[in-house]
Structure 1
């Protein structure tokens, strides 16, 4: 692989699609010249309003997206290329709703707690993206949620440890955490794998509310 870099930075504007009905979504990300990231604070579960860690990025479902643990979403261009070949269609940067499209980085080899230095910002890997009906509607592919989940390479959500600007071409330097909690394993835990959930809880790498969420499922 080439040196890890940011290929594209992407922001979602409010967009109406069939799912979710009557509520704009920000999944339709488009490339921009620069993004500014900062810690958005916790999810606003009470009113469902979205809080992204990317300035100007719309989140329609604040109960399941946004907040500190899901401030920034990153996905590898190499994975997009693999899906493009599998689906027989072009997939532009931002198509999967990612804020950062990376190149030269095996995003899905990340472990929870890995720290990324990107541009002027410092980000920390917190977990996987769990596919939802809004994502399926955007893709328009039959059985998409199940297919994407089974593939197991979801990209990563990151929290913002140090705010700053990120631009295309910025290098990405990764400091490994050694937590042992890989993003694919945590995805399996959130999808109902009880053994994976126990491993994730025992790792000590999860935030308190994520650990409580998995414990409740068990």
Structure 2
């Protein structure tokens, strides 16, 4: 059964060479029940609302299986939130989720898959070191992008909650298909 591994929010803002001057990519797992509302996880921040946040990008989900792949590639542990994700999930193929697919997390929260994450230079700077060179292309080519979600029903979630696909629109493109089109 797919489940929620962690709910993450910004730990601290970091200076960044991008146009905003700071990044909120440094997210960490929160303890206990966490409120998820129409604009995302309570206590989270998006430094660039032009590219992150808003109703269609309220929450970013990343799969534990994809994180494990990158741990092997990068040779280091990548804690929940390292990819800037709000939800680290396991047992669900986030990249092959269909746009418009609805997930129930825990007892009340419902989210809808809206689009893939588009990796950027800020993400490459976050990766750091030698891996940062060519990171955007490498991450894109691998197709382990994660998905943005719209919150359809607010509520509380916690690590360990079940993630259930409530509906999936037949014939709709997957997150990866949208990214590659």
TM-score (norm 1): 0.76
2:177 corresponds to 1:185 = yes
What corresponds to 2:7 in structure 1? 9
CA 1:17–1:179 in 2, change beyond 3 Å: closer, same or farther?
Answer: farther
- Aligned residue for 1:147, secondary structure, equals helix
Residue 21 of structure 1 deviates from its aligned partner by 6.1
- Aligned residue for 2:23, secondary structure, equals coil
What corresponds to 1:139 in structure 2? 127
How do 1:78-97 and structure 2 match up within 5 A?
78-97=65-84
Structure 2 regions of 5+ residues with no counterpart?
Answer: none
Distance 2:74 2:34 in 1: 30
Say whether the 8 Å CA contact 2:20–2:48 is kept in structure 1: no
Distance 1:19 1:35 in 2: 31
Distance 2:20 2:50 in 1: 16
Say whether the 8 Å CA contact 2:20–2:47 is kept in structure 1: no
Say whether the 8 Å CA contact 1:10–1:35 is kept in structure 2: no
Distance 2:22 2:161 in 1: 31
Correspondence for 1:163 among 154, 171, 176: 154
Structure 1 regions of 5+ residues with no counterpart?
Answer: 41-52, 189-195, 197-218
Q: Give the number of the structure whose residues are more often helix, by fraction.
A: 1
What corresponds to 1:202 in structure 2? none
TM-score (norm 2): 0.91
Say whether the 8 Å CA contact 1:39–1:160 is kept in structure 2: yes
Distance 1:160 1:22 in 2: 26
Distance 1:58 1:158 in 2: 16
What corresponds to 1:48 in structure 2? none
Distance 1:115 1:124 in 2: 4
Correspondence for 2:112 among 102, 124, 143: 124
Distance 1:59 1:134 in 2: 13
Alignment deviations for residues 86-139 of structure 1 (CA, whole Å, 9 cap, x no partner): 111111111100000001111111000000000220000001000011111111
Q: Which moved more, 1:102-111 or 1:72-81?
A: 102-111
Query: How large is the RMSD of aligned CA atoms in angstroms?
Result: 1.4
What corresponds to 1:100 in structure 2? 87
Distance 2:70 2:134 in 1: 14
Structure number with higher relative contact order (C-alpha < 8 Å, ≥ 6 residues apart): 2
Query: Which runs of 4 or more aligned residues in structure 1 lie more than 3 Å from their structure 2 counterparts after TM superposition?
Result: none
Matched pairs, number: 175
Q: Give the number of the structure whose residues are more often strand, by fraction.
A: 2
